[in-house]
Amino acid sequence: MYTALRLQRKLKHQLRDAAVGRSDRGGLRRSTGDAPGDSAPAGGRPLPAPTPGTGREPGVEIVVVNPEPYMTYQPFLPEAAAGSISPRHVVVPLRRVLTGCRLVVGEAVSVDHDRRVAHVETLAGEEGAGPVEIPYTELVLAPGSVARTLPVPGLAEHGIGFKTVEEAIGLRNHVLEQLDIASSTRNPEVRDAALTFVFVGGGYAGVEALAELEDMARYACRYYHNVRAEELKFVLVEAAEKILPEVGEKMGSHALRELRARNVDVRLGTRLDSCANRVAVLSDGSRHPARTLVWTAGVKPHPVLRAAGLPLTERGRLKCTARLRVDGVDHAWSAGDAAAVPDLVAEEKGRSGAVCAPNAQHAVRQARLLADNLAATLRGEPSSDYRHAYAGSVASLGLHKGVAHFYGRKLKGYPAWFMHRVYHLSRVPTFNRKVRVLAEWTLAGLFKREIVSLGSLEHPRAEFESAAGAGRRGNGE
């Protein structure tokens, strides 16, 4: 979305001319577009020259292809899961923000760059319409990443991901539902399994999700007459020997001590071997009956990259130049998690062959430069290299707790948590969302947490289907 948003600002005059041209011709020419973090291609397409004598220059059309009509700001997912931010404020509606672009809700399944055509599976495809072809002149592939799973027995049946707002809210409802189960059962085995929560992956997503949900669950226990906070069991499983490597060894060690001080069972150098039958079996031999298993053990490039026929690295990312072009391929661009962009700052320090890490800090900046370079190319102007020194990292460990390593400064506790909020508030797109998020944080400081589980939202027709079934039985059918 960031690329498309900046492109429509850079090319606003050409986009206006394109809209006028389309109106004059009575039709709409199609092209392909996309934005970093979205699951499809993006770019601009010069439209045919207008009728001679109209006095207008050829325009540009931008088409954004995305599986959903919104963009999710993923760093806010842990707070959304904890109820600190409303789910609708974690997402940005594309139709309202990208007013100069055309939005196609669908997913790019393949790209034929020789023909300059993207094949997109739209919502109409569910009705048997099949994929549509969208031609383009300039292609931007920025589909982001997907969860990297392993062939662990029981993972597909019982695991819960944490990449989308739907998963975050579903996890929140699930955790609160487990407290209801524990409160209402007399079976000690069911109760223990309901109060055990296993998180696999000690990176940003895993640690922040665990910390926020643990905070919420312990707070919610005060409203249950027979569930005590001391009965909750949170387990963090990490294959490496440390957590949060992004914030540095010292701050990572502080985060580890903070979690263990809250009675979180952190298992380092440990893997999940099985979770069949709702029992988490770890490589250290321990077994943890649990009704909740959250998988945040890394990501991998989006599958559409392999279907694009463009040069990839060994890890499946697109080989790119410092100007964010796909290496050796004309009219193809990429940024974010999908792109292996040379890290010029690291190379100047002697780290030959270094590439930018696939994180939000690089993705947002690359998206903006990509838009600048693409606009410059369309105008016949020179483009620029991507160069950014790593500013540091921030991580939340629950309400009023966090760690940060920012521009050489190390912070922990409340100052780090405050820095975390300030940084991400400055990065969430649109002034509208900034104000809404800030308002929710302010109200959350004045009132108590919401601990309502709306699990029925995941199956909204269940009550009606039950009533309709009862009606049929009552009629003797």
Q: Output the domain CATH number for residue 352.
A: 3.50.50.60
Q: Are residues 127 and 164 in the same domain?
A: no
DSSP state at residue 85: S
Predicted local distance difference test score (pLDDT) of residue 393: 86
Q: Are residues 203 and 114 in the same domain?
A: no
CB 419: neighbour CB atoms within 10 A? 19
Strand partners, 268: 238
Q: Is 414 helix (H, G, I), strand (E, B) or coil?
A: helix
Give strand ranges (E) for 88-244: 91-93, 102-112, 117-122, 132-135, 139-141, 145-147, 159-160, 196-200, 233-238
Q: Are residues 293 and 422 in the same domain?
A: yes
Token pair for 210: 């665990």
Q: Are residues 290 and 323 in the same domain?
A: no
- What range defines the domain where residue 430 resides? 155-297+393-443
Predicted local distance difference test score (pLDDT) of residue 473: 56
Q: Are residues 367 and 229 in the same domain?
A: no
Q: Are residues 180 and 315 in the same domain?
A: no
Predicted local distance difference test score (pLDDT) of residue 128: 65
The C-alpha atoms of residue 256 and residue 253 are separated, in whole angstroms, by: 5
The C-alpha atoms of residue 116 and residue 322 are separated, in whole angstroms, by: 23
First-residue to last-residue Cα distance in the chain: 52
Q: Are residues 19 and 109 in the same domain?
A: yes
Predicted local distance difference test score (pLDDT) of residue 60: 85
Q: What is the DSSP string of 425-441?
A: HHHSSSHHHHHHHHHHH
Predicted local distance difference test score (pLDDT) of residue 474: 58
Q: Tell me: the pLDDT tens digits for 196-230?
A: 999 999 998 999 999 999 999 999 999 999 999 99
Please name the residue that has the structure tokens 């997109």.
120
Is the Cα dihedral 351, 359, 374, 133 positive or negative? Answer: positive
Q: Are residues 243 and 185 in the same domain?
A: yes
Q: Are residues 341 and 250 in the same domain?
A: no
CB 295: neighbour CB atoms within 10 A? 27
In this structure, are strands 409-412 and 402-406 parallel, antiparallel, or unpaired?
Answer: antiparallel
Q: What phi and psi values does residue 63 have, to the nearest 5 degrees?
A: -120, 125
User: Within a domain: residue 465?
Assistant: no
User: Within a domain: residue 232?
Assistant: yes
User: Within a domain: residue 103?
Assistant: yes
Structurally, how many domains does the chain consist of?
A: 2
Q: Are residues 138 and 246 in the same domain?
A: no
The 3-class secondary structure across 238-296, one letter per residue, is: ECCCCCCHHHCHHHHHHHHHHHHHCCCEEEECCCEEECHHHEEEECCCCEEECCEEEEC
Backbone region of residue 154 per phi and psi (left: phi > 0; alpha: psi in -120 to 50; beta: other values): left
H helical segments located in 349-461: 360-378, 414-427, 431-446
Q: Are residues 367 and 417 in the same domain?
A: no
Predicted local distance difference test score (pLDDT) of residue 286: 96
Q: Digits of tens for pLDDT over the chain (477 positions)?
A: 889 999 898 888 777 655 545 544 433 333 333 433 444 445 555 444 444 444 444 578 899 999 999 999 999 999 999 999 999 999 999 999 999 899 999 999 999 999 999 999 988 766 666 788 999 999 999 998 888 889 999 999 999 999 999 999 999 999 999 999 999 999 999 999 999 999 999 998 999 999 999 999 999 999 999 999 999 999 999 999 999 987 888 888 999 999 999 999 999 999 999 999 999 999 999 999 999 999 999 888 899 999 999 999 999 999 999 999 999 999 999 999 999 999 998 888 888 888 998 888 889 899 999 999 999 999 899 999 999 877 778 899 998 999 988 777 889 999 999 999 999 999 898 899 999 999 999 998 888 888 877 766 677 777 787 788 765 555 555
Question: Rounded to two decimals, what is the model's pTM?
Answer: 0.85
> Percentages helix, strand, coil for the chain, rounded to the nearest 5?
40, 20, 35
Token pair for 340: 């292996």
The C-alpha atoms of residue 477 and residue 460 are separated, in whole angstroms, by: 24
Q: Are residues 13 and 120 in the same domain?
A: yes
The CATH number of residue 173's host domain is: 3.50.50.100
Predicted local distance difference test score (pLDDT) of residue 266: 96
User: Within a domain: residue 92?
Assistant: yes
> Please, what's the b/e burial string for 184-217 (b: 16 or more CB within 10 A of its CB; e: otherwise)?
eeeeeeebbbbbbbbbbbbbbbbbbbbbbbbbbb
The C-alpha atoms of residue 258 and residue 95 are separated, in whole angstroms, by: 42
The C-alpha atoms of residue 43 and residue 104 are separated, in whole angstroms, by: 13
User: Within a domain: residue 217?
Assistant: yes
User: Within a domain: residue 354?
Assistant: yes
User: Within a domain: residue 449?
Assistant: no
User: Within a domain: residue 366?
Assistant: yes
